[in-house]
Amino acid sequence: MSSNKYRILIIEDELNIRSFVKTILETNGYQVLTSGTGKQGEWMVTSHCPDLIILDLGLPDMDGVELIKKIRKFSGVPIIVLSARTDENDKVSALDLGANDYVTKPFGTAELLARVRATLRNSHHSTGNGLYGKFVVKDMEIDYDRRIVLVKHQEIKLTQTEYNIVTLLSEHAGRVLTYAFIIHAIWGTADSGSIKKLQVNMANIRKKLGSKPGDNQYISNELGVGYRMYGNE
């Protein structure tokens, strides 16, 4: 009965957060393992093969970012990072090193569960490059075969670069893509003006998609980190 449950490993030294997360996950049908240190957590990744890891970045014996680096040498297991609001740089390094998503403390039950579901779902259909068919979120539609984007059935005129960015975000919908990830995927190389270039493109995309400032229906701007296209949750 419990054998087909997803197994989630929580690595977090703060007891109250650890129990909080454990309770939420168990209540929602997940099997949960916990560790209060990085060292034991690392060992549990190899010995228990979890389907997902929830990792606190501030551990007593090890930097969480370092732990991601170690885990990524032998495993592609999805990782959701728990970070304090002040850890902007750590959050970015964590994502660039291969963490799949993050949740900022303090977080609510609904938010955590949504991230867990999206991350598990994404890890089960690694897309590759062959995008075909359609992607729909709210009243926006990307037609990969015709390489066009429609909002309320009206075609939106995007430049080639803008289209590529929208497609990249849709391919990873529900997940935050860092500036570095997007820049590398779209332009290949980064220079000092890359972030500015990306921001200008994003501003144009959002304007063309009809977003008003502060009201982004399809793409959220994760300040200081990157962008996320909403998924169909």
Q: Which residues bind Ca ion (CB under 5 A)?
A: 13, 56, 58
Query: C-beta of 168: minimal distance to Ca ion in Å?
Result: 33
User: What's the DSSP call for residue 210?
Assistant: T
Instruction: Please report the DSSP string for 111-171 in residue order.
Output: HHHHHHHHHHHHHHS---S---SEEEETTEEEETTTTEEEETTEEE---HHHHHHHHHHHH
Query: C-beta of 14: minimal distance to Ca ion in Å?
Result: 5
Cis peptide before 60 (omega within 30 of 0): no
Q: Of 62 and 186, which CB lies nearer to Ca ion in the complex structure?
A: 62
Q: Of 13 and 63, which CB lies nearer to Ca ion in the complex structure?
A: 13
Q: DSSP 3-state assignment of 216?
A: coil
Residue in the shown chain whose Cβ atom is closest to Ca ion? 58
Q: Of 13 and 88, which CB lies nearer to Ca ion in the complex structure?
A: 13
Query: C-beta of 102: minimal distance to Ca ion in Å?
Result: 14
With a CB cutoff of 8 Å and minimum separation 6, the contacts of 86 are none
Q: Of 103 and 205, which CB lies nearer to Ca ion in the complex structure?
A: 103
**How do 154-156 and 79-83 pair as beta strands?**
unpaired
Query: C-beta of 13: minimal distance to Ca ion in Å?
Result: 5
Query: C-beta of 115: minimal distance to Ca ion in Å?
Result: 18
Q: Of 37 and 194, which CB lies nearer to Ca ion in the complex structure?
A: 37
Q: Are 190 and 180 in contact (CB under 8 A)?
A: yes
Query: C-beta of 58: minimal distance to Ca ion in Å?
Result: 4
In one letter, which amino acid is 28? N
For the chain, state the CA radius of gyration.
19
Residue 113 structure tokens = 């569960």
**How do 101-104 and 79-83 pair as beta strands?**
parallel
Q: Of 42 and 56, which CB lies nearer to Ca ion in the complex structure?
A: 56
